[in-house]
Amino acid sequence: MMNSIDKNNLLAILPNDDVLSQCMHCGMCLATCPTYELTMQEKSSPRGRIRLIKSVARGELEITPAFVKEMSYCLDCQACETACPASVKYGSMVEAARVMISNGKSGRTVGNYVKKFGMNFIIAEKIFLKITANILKFYQRSGMQKLIHKSKVMNLFSKNLSEIDKLSPRISDVFSDKIIKEINMPYGEVKHNVLFLSGCIMNVAFSEINQDTLEILLQNNCKVICPKAQGCCGSLHAHYGELPKAVELAKHNLEIFSKYDFDFLVSNSAGCGAFMKEYVHLFENDPKLAEKAKIFSSKILDITQFITSIELNKNIGTIDVPVTYHDACHLCHTQKITKAPRDFLKLIPGLSIIPLEESMWCCGSAGIYNVVEYEDSMKILERKMKNISSTKAKIVVTGNPGCIGQIKYGAEKFNVDIEVIHPATLMNRAYKNYKSS
Ligand code: SF4
Ligand code: SF4
């Protein structure tokens, strides 16, 4: 990866021919690819997309609208990487193609400018994100949202606009950085020093999950450092072609977090954890940051990994409920974390854990995929909801904010009676049950 983009040679961003030729076209990935499964077209498969990228890299194919469409139509779920016997790093290929598209002539579209504005000036800038979140909160709480939906005025602009509006996360009453202090001391003795990423969207729309995560860390002898100066990790930017901004954000966080002495950095968002592990590759050619990034990335743990690796505070109550678990793509495919979340659930007394059919199949959220490819995202979600429904569980647990929002929306849309929660929320509920018993 690179810090600046040479706009005269965007092709240089693509992986070299040796890397692209690692794909031996065996087709083992096809059955795991949601977009291939929907279309049954080779061009919408991992193998087909790698061929397209290779042709562009070799100068045999122009960047056509069809190429742009295929790169955008991919969920970047990385299920194909899990299936691939040749360990092809497909995710980095499609992300490189997106960087090239976004920064080249084909990126000069209204949609791309809107995406760039949203990513670079709202999500990346804490102050503007908070202003936007407050406006959205007013819209959601004042009755305006209900009124607009009732009036059906959105249908005049697009038939899906009101559904997309319902997909936007409900803004939290209080943002987590208002409540979580920079230094938080545990209830017992200090056994672990952990840094905590409170995130960007997590901070404003999933503040309760951040508080639950903090609470279970405090219950388990952790001194939790949550630096006020931290910012967005850059994950969404890297996945959607905004690499220079992703690098800028990563650099900022690396500098902030490296000021502290810590054992681990705990993340409660699959996408953020996955991308922070990439900082090591992002800065491998930067003499000033390479070593810092290497140490930093090696200390990233998902909350379920961290809690299952320490001695648990056993003053935990019972939750007598059938639950099931959905694997977020950036946990199971990108970070290969599948055991820790299940072991984490086993630590909560009373739960009966029901296996979910196709638990590693994407839910269709995939960053902003459910907005830009609403209809196909809903087909993917419908499949997920059918599987969830057939477990007869009362709660579905998943470790990524995007999946939580998408499955909550799916529960309403497809009439599935299920609560959707984060593992940290469930464990904190068990600790609260102990206190009140
Ligand atoms: S990342 Fe997901 S959607 Fe994209 S090619 Fe791989 S399996 Fe298919
Ligand atoms: S990406 Fe891997 S699994 Fe898919 S066709 Fe290429 S080598 Fe085979």
Please indicate whether residue 26, judged by its CB atom, sits closer than 6 Å to ligand 2.
yes
CA–CA gap between residue 222 and residue 215 (Å, rounded):
10
Q: In this predicted structure, what is the pLDDT of residue 279?
A: 95
Helix (H), strand (E) at residue 168 = none
Residue nearest ligand 2's atom 3 by CA? 84
Q: In this predicted structure, what is the pLDDT of residue 3?
A: 45
Residues β-bridged to residue 354:
324
**Looking at ligand 2, which atom is closest to the CA of residue 90?**
1
CA–CA gap between residue 14 and residue 3 (Å, rounded):
15
- State the greatest distance between any 2 C-alpha atoms of the chain, in Å, as a whole number: 69
pLDDT digits (tens, 9 = 90+) for 317-364: 999 999 999 999 999 999 999 999 999 999 999 999 999 999 999 999
Q: Please compute, for residue 145, the number of CA atoms within 13 A of its CA located in the half-sphere on the CB side.
A: 19
CA–CA gap between residue 232 and residue 202 (Å, rounded):
10
Question: Of the candidates 264, 257, 297, 298, which has an alpha carbon nearest to the alpha carbon of residue 191?
Answer: 264
Ligand 2: distance of its center to the CA of 29 in Å?
6
Question: Of the candidates 236, 334, 250, which has an alpha carbon nearest to the alpha carbon of residue 293?
Answer: 250
Residues β-bridged to residue 194:
224, 264
Rounded to 10 degrees, the C-alpha dihedral 194/197/203/208 comes to: -40
Please indicate whether residue 90, judged by its CB atom, sits closer than 6 Å to ligand 1.
yes
Are 90 and 81 spatial neighbours (Cβ–Cβ below 8 Å)?
Answer: yes
pLDDT digits (tens, 9 = 90+) for 228-277: 999 999 999 998 888 999 999 999 999 999 999 999 999 999 999 999 99
Which of 80, 98, 358 gets mutated to test ligand 1 (max ligand atoms within 8 A of its CB)? 80
Q: In this predicted structure, what is the pLDDT of residue 161?
A: 87
Residue 39: nearest ligand to its CA?
Answer: 1
Residue 377: nearest ligand to its CA?
Answer: 1
CA–CA gap between residue 215 and residue 211 (Å, rounded):
6
pTM of the model: 0.94
Are 300 and 277 spatial neighbours (Cβ–Cβ below 8 Å)?
Answer: yes
Rounded to 10 degrees, the C-alpha dihedral 46/47/53/54 comes to: 150
Residue 46: nearest ligand to its CA?
Answer: 1
Ligand 2: distance of its center to the CA of 24 in Å?
6
Ligand 2: distance of its center to the CA of 30 in Å?
8
Q: In this predicted structure, what is the pLDDT of residue 2?
A: 45
Query: Residues in the chain with pLDDT < 50?
Result: 1-3
Residue nearest ligand 2's atom 7 by CA? 23
**Looking at ligand 2, which atom is closest to the CA of residue 26?**
8
Ligand 2: distance of its center to the CA of 19 in Å?
12
CA–CA gap between residue 361 and residue 31 (Å, rounded):
11
Ligand 1: distance of its center to the CA of 356 in Å?
21
Ligand 1: distance of its center to the CA of 89 in Å?
11
- Which conformational region is residue 78 in: left (phi greater than 0), alpha (psi within -120 to 50 degrees), or beta? left
CA–CA gap between residue 319 and residue 202 (Å, rounded):
25
Domain with CATH 3.40.50.11810 in the chain: 313-436
| Block residue for tokens 């299936």 | 83
Residue nearest ligand 2's atom 8 by CA? 26
Residue nearest ligand 2's atom 4 by CA? 29
CA–CA gap between residue 309 and residue 303 (Å, rounded):
10
Two tokens, residue 223: 């001194």
Q: In this predicted structure, what is the pLDDT of residue 240?
A: 86
Q: In this predicted structure, what is the pLDDT of residue 8?
A: 67
Residue 33: nearest ligand to its CA?
Answer: 1
**Looking at ligand 1, which atom is closest to the CA of residue 362?**
2
The CATH architecture to which 313-436 belongs is 3-Layer(aba) Sandwich (3.40)
Which of 22, 33, 88 gets mutated to test ligand 2 (max ligand atoms within 8 A of its CB)? 88
Two tokens, residue 344: 């984490």
Please indicate whether residue 52, judged by its CB atom, sits closer than 6 Å to ligand 1.
no
Reported CATH class of domain 10-107: mainly alpha
Q: How many helices (H) and strands (E) does the chain have?
A: 25, 9
Distance, first Cα to last Cα, the chain: 53
pLDDT digits (tens, 9 = 90+) for 407-436: 999 999 999 999 999 999 999 999 999 888
